[in-house]
Amino acid sequence: MNEHANDEQVPAQGPSGEPADLPSAEEALRREAAENWNKYLRAAAELDNFRKRSARDVDTARRAGAERLAKSLLPVRDSLEAALASAGKADLKTLIDGQQATLRLLDEALAAADIIAIDPHGEPFDPAKHEALSMVPAPQAEPNTVIDVVQKGYHMNDRLLRAAKVIVARGDS
């Protein structure tokens, strides 16, 4: 029988009896693991920096919005202060004109901040935007229609700030 016929190919062995290419494969895996760990650490640091930067950006935007609103309200305060200073010296018509001008300034400041009044007089009652203070018989109005606005409501950026306080027509049965 041929002595080489049944020989299996045996990998070359290193000095400790393990295959000769095992240490190089192990070293390659260690390098890959270290590289992956470094990639993970960089990604984690970038994510942390992104979170911090986003929080700063949100805070900056919030402050800028508050500053815009405050700047638009300052003329309203100035107008009220001037009205109080002239209260003893002005006649009733002048005071009323001053209050109307102050109200216009306030309306402009609210509009600049995208704060819109809800004045639902004559509209159907909407519990999402209106708070019914009472229901009264009103034969001239449709049932569940707002017949009087006690206090206007306001919304900003499609979000309700305050519901309008209203009186609603009751359908008499």
Nearest-angstrom CA–CA distance, 32 and 151: 69
Count CB neighbours of 167 within 10 A: 18
Quote the number of domains for the chain: 2
Kindly report the pTM of this predicted structure. 0.61
Domain end among 92, 113, 134: 113
Of the candidates 163, 124, 119, the residue with the CA atom closest to the CA atom of residue 143 = 124
* Whole-number pLDDT of residue 22: 76
Are 126 and 86 within one domain? no
* Whole-number pLDDT of residue 68: 87
Are 119 and 103 within one domain? no
Count CB neighbours of 148 within 10 A: 14
Task: Say which CATH number the domain at 158 has.
Answer: 2.30.22.10
Mean pLDDT, the chain, whole residue set? 87
Task: Kindly report, residue by residue over 82-128, the tens digit of the pLDDT.
Answer: 888 887 787 888 888 889 999 999 999 999 889 999 999 999 999 99
Are 95 and 59 within one domain? yes
Q: Which residue has the higher pLDDT, 41 or 10?
A: 41
Are 98 and 157 within one domain? no
Nearest-angstrom CA–CA distance, 168 and 147: 6
DSSP state letter for 124: B
